[in-house]
Chain A
Amino acid sequence: DVVMTQTPPSLSVAIGQSVSISCKSSQSLVHSDGKTYLNWLLQNPGQSPKRLIYQVSNLGSGVPDRFSGTGSEKDFTLKISRVEAEDLGVYHCVQATHVPLTFGSGTKLEIK
């Protein structure tokens, strides 16, 4: 199974700051169809997860452009520019290139 190593486990940031979260995979996430199926999700407290980013860098529907995703092969980053209060929660990366699909362990974002 592909292991997704997500860091840091937690972050505490002030409103308006920028932060980055890393996700590294144990294998390349480039699919045989040429696409890279790496998603970023945000789970606000008490809520279901919602998709922020798909295929590494594509913004999900209705997601503010303060969120951006970069990376390739085995190394991926989610960046949040100008953090807002509504961004608190747990961020998850999930790879959908290889079966079984696997999640990172999550990054908890707290607002200072």
Chain B
Amino acid sequence: QVQLKESGPGLVQPSQTLSLTCTVSGFSLTSYNVHWVRQPPGKGLEWMGRMRYNGDTSYNSALKSRLSISRDTSKNQVFLKMNSLQTDDTGTYYCNSGFAYWGQGTLVTVSS
């Protein structure tokens, strides 16, 4: 069955870089898009960007200068890297496939 799982550090220091991995199973990254979505505590959902099935990427306008999404199809993994983290980047980060299948999310706290 389709599964996605996010992994990465729970704590990041301000001004540092966040690196997250989304490991998928049950489908091919060359057939479906994978999105990254985040949610600050107690707030709504924010689309961050996506890796399309063909390798193209798209980004949230507000995050574009800090964000990079890549993939390794041989490992069934999609990566998110975002630099210059601040406290308002704290939240739960999700990956999903076409909004139909979601990972459990990973909580990232930005704090010194």
| Residues on A facing B (Cβ under 8 Å) | 1, 39, 41, 43, 48-51, 54, 60-61, 90, 92, 94, 96, 99-106
Contact = CB atoms under 8 A, between A and B. Distances in A.
Given A48-B105, A49-B94, A100-B59, A106 B45 contact: yes
A101 B44 CA distance: 14
A54 B35 CA distance: 16
Given A51-B99, A96-B99, 10 more contacts: A41-B45, A41-B99, A43-B45, A49-B96, A49-B102, A92-B44, A99-B58, A100-B60, A101-B47, A103-B44
B58 A48 contact: no
B102 A54 contact: no
6 contacts: A49-B45, A49-B102, A54-B99, A61-B100, A100-B59, A105-B44
Interface string B90-112: 00001010011011110000000
Contacts of A49: 37, 45, 94, 96, 99, 102
B46 interface: yes
B99 A1 contact: no
Interface in B15-44: 35, 37, 44
Contact of B61 (A1, A51, A104, A106): A1
A94 B47 contact: yes
A102 B61 CA distance: 11
B55 to A, nearest CB: 16
B60 A94 contact: no
B44 A48 contact: no
